[in-house]
């Protein structure tokens, strides 16, 4: 344990020592981003409300209504063939990661967005409740509060996709009765903590809890290193190829706003995630599975296996895209979501 603590401290100190040069890269990129057309990242908003989770944590929720919705019908504003879309973001991100999807579909469909606990505008969670079981329960609570009736389409990215599986595991009756379509983007049904194949992967998987325990004691040191390295890591790991500086800056700001303690709190839950069996609750609902073929965080093999487990899934593998495929290739993802909605309409009519 002491050796791990020293190693973590050295790593953090080394990151801090190189922070000046990497921070300069961030400053230059921000300057270039300011000189490009403003994409309005982080500015797409609707009136927010707080939904209180079962353990008392406040979840920030926003609902975009249809343009033709009458006043006072927010709780059940769907037509017979137009379900409510519910978007669930991934680890270290916020609802803002759905920027392009929100813009493309706004006014045409009723849409629900929320910040997962300890992320964005939602309250911080205790470490013992930073679990996928709790995230699935949170999603159910949000649905009960803002989409209590009518058909729904669930859209989850990365940890958000795991949240959908957790909901299916805990409330299969809700999923079976009301979910008329589901989209999984750059996510996995399990074994995400095994970073290497074979025996070396098993050893590393077993050591992760010990490593995380050491880093938890050194959050201040790690945060100091992150301030200098986060931008470079975002550019390298989040995307599959070159993207505009403004997009890297946008994602970097979301990730950097998440304290290191939140990273350590959720990492064990991701490592232990095993929920392929929960996919059965989605039954024959139309499904979309999206993978970036250059995903450095969750290789496309994870997403492709998901597609093989869902009988009605359509697999979209996006060339030269990385983990944040919905930001990197928004037009392709948006069209795939529109196609999913078309496929979900007959099922939506039958569930009204």
The string of pLDDT tens digits covering residues 21-74 is 444 454 544 555 454 556 799 999 999 999 999 999 999 999 999 998 654 444
pTM: 0.83
Give the residues across from 274 on adjacent strands. 190
Number of H helices, E strands in the chain: 13, 8
Q: Which CATH superfamily does the domain covering 44-351 fall into? A: Alpha/Beta hydrolase fold, catalytic domain (3.40.50.1820)
pLDDT (0 to 100) of residue 238 = 92
- DSSP states along 166-190: HHHHH-HHHHHHHEEEEEEES--SB
Q: From CA 289, how far away is CA 307, in angstroms rounded?
A: 6
Q: From CA 284, how far away is CA 81, in angstroms rounded?
A: 17
Q: Rg for the chain (alpha carbons), in Å?
A: 20
- Return the ∠ at Cα 213 (arms to 209 and 216), rounded to 5°: 135
- Cβ neighbours, 10 Å, residue 31: 11
Residue 96's contacts (CB-CB under 8 Å, 6 or more residues apart) are 41, 42, 44, 120, 250, 254
Give the closest residue to 142 by CA, choosing from 172, 174, 169, 173.
Answer: 174
DSSP three-state, residue 112? strand
Sign of CA dihedral 247, 253, 254, 255: positive
- What does the pLDDT profile of the chain (352 residues) look like in tens digits? 344 344 444 444 444 444 444 444 545 445 554 545 567 999 999 999 999 999 999 999 999 999 986 544 444 444 556 899 999 999 999 999 999 999 999 999 999 999 999 999 999 999 999 999 999 999 999 999 999 999 999 999 999 999 999 999 999 999 999 999 999 999 999 988 654 445 544 654 555 555 545 444 555 555 555 555 567 778 888 999 999 999 999 999 999 888 888 988 998 899 899 999 999 999 999 999 999 999 999 999 999 999 999 999 999 999 999 999 999 999 999 999 999 999 999 988 887 6
């Amino acid at each position: 344990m002491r050796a791990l603590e020293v190693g973590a401290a050295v790593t953090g100190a080394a990151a801090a020592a190189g922070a000046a040069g990497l921070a300069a890269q961030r400053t230059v990129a921000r300057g270039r981003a300011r000189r490009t057309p403003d994409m309005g990242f982080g500015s797409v908003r609707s009136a927010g409300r707080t939904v209180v989770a079962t353990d008392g944590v406040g979840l920030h929720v926003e609902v975009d209504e249809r343009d033709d919705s009458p006043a006072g019908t927010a709780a059940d504003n769907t037509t017979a063939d137009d379900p409510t879309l519910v978007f669930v973001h991934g680890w270290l991100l916020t609802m803002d990661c759905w920027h392009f999807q929100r813009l493309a579909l706004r006014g045409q469909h009723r849409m629900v967005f929320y910040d997962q606990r300890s992320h964005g505008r939602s309250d911080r969670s205790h470490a013992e409740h930073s679990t996928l079981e709790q995230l699935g329960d949170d999603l159910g609570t949000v649905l009960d509060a803002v989409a209590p009736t009518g058909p729904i389409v669930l859209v989850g990215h990365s940890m958000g996709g795991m949240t959908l599986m957790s909901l299916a595991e805990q409330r299969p009756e809700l999923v079976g009765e009301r979910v008329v379509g589901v989209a999984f983007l750059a996510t996995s049904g399990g074994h995400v903590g095994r970073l290497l194949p074979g025996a070396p992967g098993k050893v590393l998987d077993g050591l992760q809890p010990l490593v995380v325990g050491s880093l938890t004691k050194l959050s201040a040191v790690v945060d100091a290193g992150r301030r200098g390295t986060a931008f470079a890591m975002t550019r390298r790991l989040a995307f599959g190829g070159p993207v505009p500086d403004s997009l890297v800056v946008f994602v970097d700001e979301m990730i950097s706003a998440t304290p290191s303690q939140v990273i350590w709190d959720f990492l064990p839950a991701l490592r232990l995630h095993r929920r392929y069996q929960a996919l059965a609750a989605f039954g024959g609902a139309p499904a979309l599975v999206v993978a970036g073929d250059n995903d450095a965080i969750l290789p496309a093999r994870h997403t492709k296996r998901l597609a093989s487990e869902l009988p009605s899934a359509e697999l979209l593998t996006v060339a030269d895209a990385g983990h944040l495929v919905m930001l990197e290739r928004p037009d392709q993802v948006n069209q795939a979501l529109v196609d999913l909605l078309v496929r979900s309409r007959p099922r939506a009519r039958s569930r009204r």
